[in-house]
Amino acid sequence: MRKKPKIGIAGGLLTANEEILAGAFRTYVNHNYVRALEKAGAVPVLLPVLADPDDLPAQLEGLDGLLVPGGADIDPVFYGEQPRPRLGATCPASDRCTLALIADADAAGLPILGICRGAQAINVAFGGTLYQDQESEIPGCLKHVQQSARQQPSHAVTLAKGSFLARIFGAAAQVNSFHHQSVKQLAPGFAVTARADDGVVEGIERCGAQKNFVCGVQFHPEMMAEADCVPMQTLFDRFVSLCAGEGGH
């Protein structure tokens, strides 16, 4: 029986609102990420936010990959900007841990997949910047925070020929959308491999076959995979295969 790869999921901090626990922090990850990785044949491991970044390499020991999920806005201090009026809630402690975790996972040669905030965090971790609020900063911006069901696609994206994402989705795909931030200045060494019709970056991948796999998508495949969308589950399947050392990307 093939040994299942163990994939760490970067946890976030959530403030409890129940009366007896109001104000307490919880480590959390939405469970649909766990289900998508399990269906793909992996063993998911929750990685809590740590105060000491020196402990992060030990947290990654024994893992075969890293998934960086969605979450709150990233504090612009981490990419050298001041906050704009439409910046949402941030959690610098979580940001600091997530960015360091990405760097340590990369140094350890682990494949990395980022989703929504996770894609943005990858871009920032490798030297890029973000639109703090794309609707007010990008002329002609589409609606990227859908009000329809989470598993329902809301707009199209175009995929770059020959990219990892295009090998899964083809030349174009319909995706869901729950974000008001996105990649602004692309990190060095990365390519944009998916865009919406308004130009908003929906997918990035690290260039160079000699590097370990790093990819981010701005949409939420875990939500659509939960509703049995085959291409979205295939994204997790391919990521898990890479983590298991099965073929190049």
Q: Which residues participate in catalysis according to the annotation? A: 116, 220, 222
Burial of residue 121 (number of CB atoms within 10 Å: 0-12, 13-18, 19+): buried
Q: What angle do CA 68, 69, 72 make, to 5 degrees?
A: 115
Q: What is the DSSP string of 136-191?
A: HHSTT----B--S-TTS--EEEEEPTTSHHHHHH-SEEEE--B-S-EESSPPTTEE
Q: How far apart are CA 43 and CA 3, in angstroms?
A: 10
CA 40 to chain CA centroid, Å, is 17
